[in-house]
Amino acid sequence: MANLKEIRNRITSIGSTMQITSAMKMVSAAKLKKAQDAITQMRPYAEKLTELLQSLSASVDVNAGGAYAEEREVSKVLIVAITSNRGLCGGFNSSIIKGATNHIATNYAGKEVEILSIGKKGADILGKNFNVIERNTTIFDNLTFDNVAEIAQRVMDLYLAGTYDKIEVIYNQFKNAATQIVQIEQFLPIEKIEGGANTNIDYIYEPSKAEIVLQLIPKSLKTQMYKAVRDSYASEHGARMTAMHKATDNANDLRNDLLLTYNKARQAAITNEILEIVGGAEALKN
């Protein structure tokens, strides 16, 4: 059994760890509320905009703005992987890294795949096995639509230039503080709605369908990317809050066990000292 000093040092160390994990939990909880409100409010808008875009793109000529929906033979793929810059958030980052690796191995075996990483963790791990063309680690310092739109525009330009035949986004979708769902979405080409109920409705477009699509496509794609980053941001804080809550509870249980061990060891030491005193007193009598 460890001596009393070692146990006291371990109890002190665990107490310090509890203070850190508890503080991190409270910080993430505060950030989560704002991030959750942001993604909850924008998700219906983004989904409806994407649905409208898919419906319009299905009936627009490629030269009139449907180049983003042009289907090509897939030989080179870009995966936009969204992770976090820091750890201590449970399986948040590892689920994206594992999901991306398995997805590439299953669907793009023998094809050229490159990574655009949003978040340091994804770039560090995925960079060991894939070519990372860009590492963006500053986006979460100032998460605005304009900053994300710059990334989306670069990705769109790469597709139009023919650099990649397909572009996908992998991220954690926020469900609640304890649950994040790995999502893999096709970014480009735009997926068309086939056989949808609204495809035969005769809308009146003003000024014209082609011009509307020309303006709507870039906005919709940037909104889709922004939604993915926002989802990931909320998921990160939810995962970190949950992880730090569990870490604090585990540290508290461990500290209680050590306190019990310390008290038993201290009681045993006192008992031994009493026995030695009594034994010494009996020896003096004799």
Query: How do residues 23-56 score in pLDDT, each as one tens digit?
Result: 999 999 988 988 988 888 888 888 888 777 766 6
Give yes or no for residue 193 having a pLDDT over 80.
no
- Per-residue burial over 118-144, b if 16 or more Cβ lie within 10 Å, else e, is bbbbbbbbbeeebebeebbbebbeeee
ω into residue 189 within 30 of 0, thus cis? Answer: yes
Per-residue pLDDT band at 275 (split at 50, 70, 90): confident
Mean pLDDT of the chain: 86
* 157 vs 199, residue with greater confidence: 157
Task: Please write the tens of the pLDDT for every residue from 211-261.
Answer: 777 778 888 899 999 999 999 999 999 999 999 999 999 999 999 999 998
> Of 186 and 66, which is predicted with more confidence?
186
pLDDT band at 268 (very low <50, low <70, confident <90, very high): confident
Tell me, what's the pLDDT at 196? 47
* Mean pLDDT value of segment 3-12: 88
pLDDT of residue 64: 45
Place 144 in a pLDDT band, splitting at 50, 70 and 90.
very high
pLDDT at 62 over 50: no
| Residue 229 pLDDT | 95
DSSP state of 67: G
If one compares 233 and 274, the residue with the highest pLDDT of the two is 233
Tell me the C-alpha distance between 104 and 167, whole Å. Answer: 12
- Give the least confident one: 50-59, 76-85, 156-165, 218-227: 50-59
DSSP single-letter state for residue 197: T
CA gyration radius, the chain? 28
Q: Quick one: average pLDDT of 146-158?
A: 94
Catalytic residue numbers, as ranges: 89
Q: Is the pLDDT of residue 197 over 50?
A: no
Q: Which homologous superfamily is 32-243 in?
A: ATP synthase, F1 complex, gamma subunit (3.40.1380.10)
Confidence tier at 145 by pLDDT (50, 70, 90): very high
Contact present, 229 and 148 (Cβ < 8 Å): yes
Q: Is the pLDDT of residue 286 over 90?
A: no
pLDDT class for 267, splitting at 50, 70, 90? Answer: confident
Domain positions in the chain are 32-243
